[in-house]
Structure 1
Amino acid sequence: MLFQRLARCFSVAICLSLIAACASQNATPAPPTELANKPTAEQKRADKDSPNQNPTKTPRPAATATPIITGPHFEQVGGLQLKPPTEGRHADLTLYNDLILLGMQPSSCQLENRITLIDVSDPRQPEVAGYSPVVKNVSLEDMDVARIGEQDIAIVGMQPCSGETKPGIQILDITDPSKPVELARFATTLGVHELDLTVNSSGQALALLAAPTNNVFGSTPMAEHRAELWIVDLSTPSKPTKLSRWGIDQKLDWQMLDYADRARGNFPGIFLHSVRASSNSQRAYLSYWDAGVIILDIQDPAQPVYLGQTPYPALAEGDAHSVVDWNDGQFLALNNEDFSNGQAKISHPALAEPAYAHALPFGEKLDQPLSAEFVALEQACDPKADYPDFAGRFVLIEIAGCSIERKFIVAQTGKAAGLLLYANKPYQELPFGDDVDLITEFNLPMYLLSSTTAAALLSQPEAKATIEQYFDGGGAIQFFDLSDPSKPVEIGRYNTPNSIDAKRATNPTVHNSEVQGQYLYASWYRDGLRMLDISDPSQPQEVAAWPNGNSPSVNLWGVQVRDQYVYVSDLSYGLYVLEFHAE
């Protein structure tokens, strides 16, 4: 079935649907304050190994080729162009002492994969130090490192694309980065997309793993998959031990229908995309896509305790991708990975404010607002049944009983203005694809509504409803005050100019961010790197951006920072090393 094929694609990696039409644009920099210093790593890497491929070092640009840039700016001072060990694209990176670990997203399931370890003891001359042991049939996108006992331990998330490799994490000893050794693997029920490795105040090493379901379009995950957070004790790295699991369905107020009702945007779903420990290791921040960020107390990692959840405005896209906190957990930055710039909303006298309407991708798109009365048809599975006249009206139909195609045929045959679908009970798969051959052309607007919105419409069936498109730009960074973690308060927001330019066909989105001192550094795919002054997070100010001048065109995935050096991973190129100059 078509939807099953889509779901299988989504399950390999949530971030596969990159849009590649965003040109970078520099904003006017704000005056910076003094750059905060951070202690440099004590250890220096000298144990380099000759790689079995030939990475290209990027020399510092010659002075004659570099334009004069005044004011705060980044200069590319180093880089490493890596041909992927398998065809695909480079993924996230992490910085540990003088090492960068760079992940890889393969283009084909059958290929071998591994991560690259890069020596950056001289940031201007990065060199390949080694590679992780090869894993087949898997995407290796996220990793983290910590000192556990006398070993430097790395964990790597494994997202299999076939049954030949079990999902989970690969646990490596990288004390000698030229010869990483696999110590163990830890299996999860689904692939680990993102993760974090932290050591708490008791000296306990904890792996926090996000193993997301593929419940796109509001479907309800199977029971064994719902606890998407895994907390694993890695105090003995060769013998990982599960301490607990947690899922959003463990919230006291959660209903199974919420998987459908709270999904939003053009990539709707309630799943755990990412997890990160707080800077003091006492909390876990769960980026739960359209449900926002859930905050857990993990001081007892065997029994996580729900603390609170970040809110989204009524018509927000959602897409909580990743976070970073600072000031001992008082503030939180949420990166929303939103590639779509057009949404739809429905208005009706019974609704206090417009509600979100999810446009199904196989329906006809509206060019202008559409207003009409509506008729409720319950399940509407029989095209030959005797229905009331609904020509020129919306038909409101339950998602139950038969395929969406059969409901579409009923609506199309009766010359409806549009098809409005809603769920009045949970479903494990959107019922689309079984009867797709019955339809020659999808020429009718089709929308998914929440059960709450549908109930409001049904309370005043004589009133007209209006559906219209609206522009919401690309994904933004939201800033929250967590002084009371039970009631997170949004206090600020930042978009790049390109991400909110309504004249663009596509708008770039933020992906990841890190904080050093009073500055936040964000990777923004084709909009490059952005450095923000967050000394007042209610009014974030852009300090500098890259690319600039004659810099290369980029497509940035991840970012790491130490002192004046910023390391960014590029999907095609590999690693860029930038140096910040205050003037």
Structure 2
Amino acid sequence: MIGALKLEPFNAGVHADVAGYKNLAFVGKWRELCPGTGVDIIDISRPATPVKIADTLDYLDTSMEDMQAIRIGERDVLAIGLQDCGNVPTPGVGKSGLELYDITDPHNPQLLSLFDVDQSGVDVTGVHELDLTATPSGRVLALLAVPNLEALTFRPPAPSIGDLLILDITDPTNPTLIGEWGVLDEPALGLDFYLGVAQGGDARTLLHSVRANQNGTRAYLSYWDAGFIILDISNPSSPVFRGFAPKTAPDDSYGPDEEGNAHSVDEARGGNILVTADEDFSPFHLEFSVTAPASIAGQYPAVEGAFTKPIVTLPGRVMTGEVVHVGRGCPENSIVPGSPADPYLADPNGKIALIERGACRFDEKIGRAQLAGAIGAIVYNTAAGGDALVLMSGRQAFTLADGRPVEINIPGIFVGRSAGVALRDAFDAVQVVSVKASAVFDGWGFLRFFDIKDPTNPKQLSTFATANTNNEDVALEGIWSVHNPEVRGNTVYASWYSDGVRIIDISSPSAPREIGFWVGEGAPSDAPPVNIWSVVPHGDLLLVSDRNFGLYILKHTP
């Protein structure tokens, strides 16, 4: 480390991506905590003593995670992705789009334009990540990842608007939408693929980020559980699907036991190698089984609630016990004001309550069961919902509709209709019903390396993970997932949250080899433990954003 700059707010977890341009660094802000402040513009002409010189505009309830700068004509232009944080209920308060600034005088950034990506009025979050590229014809394009835009505009038989938007920003005062692409309207993929690939603890199909190749003719899309998608954008008005990875079958992406979460990507070897990052924040997966009666014993698909006590925190990382079926389980007033409580069909005290979905909130059902003495809860789907799994969301501490306060401190899982009915019927037949739900360690997120010389058929060559990524003993002591990779030549620079900055040699892509790392050595004495968002090579420097500290500047000597 040769330089550091503490940014406000300090030690609040809000600092996001970093970018470099000429003698400048830019640091964004994270949407989840949403301070509503602009991008920090920092003079790094003296790397040992970086100085903040300006901010971009602040917007209430708006975050600016990702940004990039480029020369357009006679201007230095900074592009910033805006996301509506959704914390203010008034429509239009949070911004969702692309800002373009003239930063030719970086001390005095001037707003040139703001392109709104929510032109259909569907309340889309905004631009999560972006990339800028200059095409062989001289056009300057902005590739925007707008998560869930295609789902929100899906109104068959009319086409949806894809999660990828392509803007021509050659005139930065007048950005123009010229192309879009999404999984739903791609004939080779479509609705069945979109719905079928979501998996793991964060099961979603959406475009998280996008990266163009060096001459702006190809786009690499990190499409979360749909994997990494390759497009030909030689004609940016009409992107062409070429292939995707990692695929286990023609209609699948990740293997059935993998988390998924295609987060970010960069190319190497002139577009022959793809370096990808799976951001896995679920180092434990759930295994649920019925242990009695023997007639229904076996494993069943299940997913933990987002607000219930994590099974990984229980003794032995296991929820086990006898199950009783209590019915729908809605408390008084929870369906409509004045509605009576659903009668409990059995006493859940000291047991695991089996509850049917429907009529009231998940947290109301589980909160009532906890107050009745349940040690855990299993919610099963309705007949209409079938065997689809739902990630139960809800409040962790609240007051039930019947007026009783509750703080959820029991585990809760959701199962499909078939599993729930099997448990219910066994209980109704006066059989002892018991289950076991275990949190099983499978590691944090890691890097993959693909041969994409034939982009229609990528082949995985190897993977790379740090020792902590796959160490169950420290699994809960930090965030040991990869975040963002950047490639220069045969070197990958990867941000790894609690594991800092990792530097990997890929001279042999089939055998990646770590050649350096930085985990806070030499940081200021008041710096919290590292929590690295991004590392970006910039000339002979490495610009590093830390979610709690701000900006670090490193030099690496191979």
- TM-score > 0.5 by shorter chain: yes
Question: Greater shift after overlay, 568-577 or 251-260?
Answer: 251-260
| Corresponding residue number in structure 2 for 1:199 | 134
Further displaced range: 250-259 or 527-536: 250-259
Q: Greater shift after overlay, 306-315 or 359-368?
A: 359-368
Between the aligned partners of 1:321 and 1:470, the Cα distance in structure 2 is 23
Tell me, in whole angstroms, the C-alpha distance in 2 between the residues paired with 1:444 and 1:548.
Answer: 37
Q: Does 1:337 align with 2:309?
A: no
Listed as ranges, the gaps of 5+ residues in structure 1 are 1-75
Give, in whole Å, the separation in 2 of the partners of 1:420 and 1:257.
27
Equivalences for residues 298-377 of structure 1 within 5 A: 298-310=233-245, 311-346=253-288, 357-363=302-308, 365=311, 367=315
Q: Distance in 2 between matches of 1:146 and 1:167?
A: 21
Q: Secondary structure at the match of 1:223?
A: coil
Other-structure match for 1:498: 468
Contact 1:403/1:435 (CA < 8 Å) preserved in 2? no
- Distance in 2 between the 1:330 and 1:280 partners? 14
Deviation at 1:570, TM superposition (A): 2.0
Counterpart Cα distance in 2 of 1:544 and 1:155: 31
* CA–CA separation in structure 2 for the residues paired with 1:538 and 1:491: 5
Q: CA offsets per residue over residues 403-460 of structure 1, 9 Å max, x none?
A: 44577699999989862545449899968579954685767653345x7xx7799999
1:255 equivalent to 2:216? Answer no
Q: Distance in 1 between matches of 2:542 and 2:60?
A: 31
| AA of the residue aligned to 2:412 | M
Which residue identity does 2:274 align to in structure 1?
L
Q: CA 1:409–1:303 in structure 2 vs 1: closer, same or farther (change >3 Å)?
A: same
1:580 alignment partner, SS class: coil
State which drifts further: 488-497 or 130-139: 130-139
Instruction: Decide which of 75, 87, 90 is 2:15's aligned counterpart.
Output: 90
Please give the alpha-carbon distance, in whole angstroms, between the structure 2 residues aligned to 1:430 and 1:568. Answer: 36
In the alignment, the residues of structure 1 paired with residue 113 and residue 300 of structure 2 have an alpha-carbon distance, to the nearest angstrom, of 48
- Three-state SS of the structure 2 residue aligned to 1:503 is helix
Q: Is 1:480 paired with 2:480? A: no
Whole-Å separation in 2 of the counterparts to 1:456 and 1:539: 44
Q: Equivalent of 2:108, from 161, 175, 179?
A: 179
Shift of 1:477: 1.6
Deviation at 1:238, TM superposition (A): 0.8
Q: Give the corresponding residue for 1:540.
A: 512
Q: Closer, same or farther in 2 for the Cα pair 1:341/1:535, shift >3 Å?
A: same
Q: How does 1:257-276 map to 2 (within 5 A)?
A: 259=195, 262-265=198-201, 267-276=202-211
* 1:499 aligned counterpart, secondary structure: helix
Q: Secondary structure at the match of 1:250?
A: coil
Q: Read off the aligned partner of 1:297 and give its amino acid letter.
A: D
Between the two proteins, the alignment pairs up a number of residues equal to: 496
DSSP 3-state at the match of 2:530: coil
Deviation at 1:344, TM superposition (A): 0.6
Deviates more, 1:369-378 or 1:500-509: 369-378
In 1, the alpha carbon distance for the partners of 2:255 and 2:300 equals: 11
Alignment pair present for 1:77 and 2:48: no
- In the superposition, relative to structure 1, how do residues 328 and 400 fare at CA in structure 2: closer, same or farther (>3 Å)? farther
| Deviation (angstroms), 1:114 | 2.1
SS in 1 for 2:206: coil
Alpha-carbon distance in structure 1 between the residues aligned to 2:515 and 2:68: 28
Tell me how far 1:82 sits from its aligned partner: 3.4
Q: Is 1:223 aligned to residue 154 of structure 2?
A: yes
For residue 306 of structure 1, report the CA deviation from its aligned partner: 2.4
Check the 8 A contact 2:4/2:523 in 1, yes or no. Answer: no
1:393-408 pair list within 5 angstroms: 403-404=361-362
CA–CA separation in structure 1 for the residues paired with 2:374 and 2:193: 30
Q: Distance in 1 between matches of 2:255 and 2:391?
A: 27
Q: Is the 8 A contact 1:396 1:420 kept in 2?
A: yes
Percent of aligned positions with the same letter in both sequences? 34
If the length of structure 1 is used for normalisation, what is the TM-score? Answer: 0.71
Matched, 1:286 2:221: yes
Counterpart residue number, 1:446? 412
In structure 1, the partner of 2:547 is 571
Q: 1:546 to 1:271 in 2, by over 3 A?
A: same
| Paired amino acid for 2:378 | L
- Tell me the residue number matched to 1:53: none
TM-score (norm 2): 0.74
Give 1:518's aligned residue.
490
Task: Provide the rounded CA distance (Å) in 1 between the counterparts of 2:190 and 2:456.
Answer: 16
| One of 93, 96, 102 as aligned partner of 1:164 | 93
Cα distance in 2 for residues equivalent to 1:268 and 1:466: 23
Secondary structure at the aligned position of 1:581 is classed as coil
Report the Cα distance in structure 1 between the residues aligned to 2:295 and 2:183, rounded to whole angstroms. Answer: 30
Corresponding letter in the other structure for 2:260: G
Instruction: Provide closer, same or farther for how the CA distance between residues 178 and 156 of structure 1 changes in structure 2, counting only shifts above 3 A.
Output: same
CA contact (8 A) 1:343 1:359 kept: no
Output one character per residue of 1:119-141: Cα deviation in whole Å (capped at 9) or x when no partner: 33443443445433444432111
1:21-40 mapped onto 2 (5 Å cutoff): none
* Deviation, structure 1 residue 105: 4.0
Contact 1:88 1:107 (C-alpha < 8 Å) held by counterparts: no
Query: Hey, what's the Cα distance between the residues in 2 that align with 1:464 and 1:109?
Result: 44
User: What SS does structure 1 have at the residue aligned with 2:127?
Assistant: coil
Instruction: Decide whether the 8 Å contact of 1:87 with 1:107 is kept in 2.
Output: no
**Which residue among 225, 242, 249 is the counterpart of 2:177?**
242
1:207 CA drift (Å): 0.8
Greater shift, 527-536 or 337-346, is seen at 337-346
Aligned ranges 1:129-148 → 2 under 5 Å: 129-148=53-72
Counterpart for residue 38 of structure 2: 114
Amino acid at match of 1:447: I
Alpha-carbon spacing, 1:500–1:406, altered in 2? closer, same or farther (3 Å):
same
Counterpart position of 1:38 = none
Rounded to whole Å, the distance in 2 between the matches of 1:537 and 1:195 is 27
Q: Is the 8 A contact 2:367 2:407 kept in 1?
A: no
Give CA deviations for 1:456-479 in whole Å, capped at 9, x if unaligned. Answer: 999999999864321122221222
Q: Which moved more, 1:142-151 or 1:231-240?
A: 142-151
Give the residue type in structure 1 aligned to 2:477.
Answer: T
Instruction: Report the AA paired with residue 321 of structure 1.
Output: H
Distance, in Å, in 2 between the alignment partners of 1:174 and 1:85 is 26
Q: Is the 8 A contact 2:179 2:236 kept in 1?
A: yes
With over 3 angstroms needed to count, the CA separation of the structure-2 counterparts of 1:362 and 1:242, relative to structure 1, is: same
Cα separation, partners in 2 of 1:491 and 1:186, compared to 1, 3 Å = same
Does the aligned pair in 2 maintain the 1:133–1:181 contact within 8 Å?
Answer: no
Matches of 1:172 and 1:298 in 2, distance apart?
Answer: 25
Q: Which residue of 2 aligns with 1:60?
A: none
1:270: Cα distance to partner? 2.5
Structure 1, 156-165 or 256-265: larger mean CA deviation: 256-265
Counterparts of 2:4 and 2:363, CA distance in 1: 51
The question of whether the paired residues in 1 share the 8 Å contact of 2:183 and 2:194 is answered with: no
Find the residue that maps to 1:255 and give its secondary structure.
helix
Give the SS at the match of 1:539: coil
Aligned counterpart in structure 2 of residue 103 of structure 1, from 28, 36, 57: 28
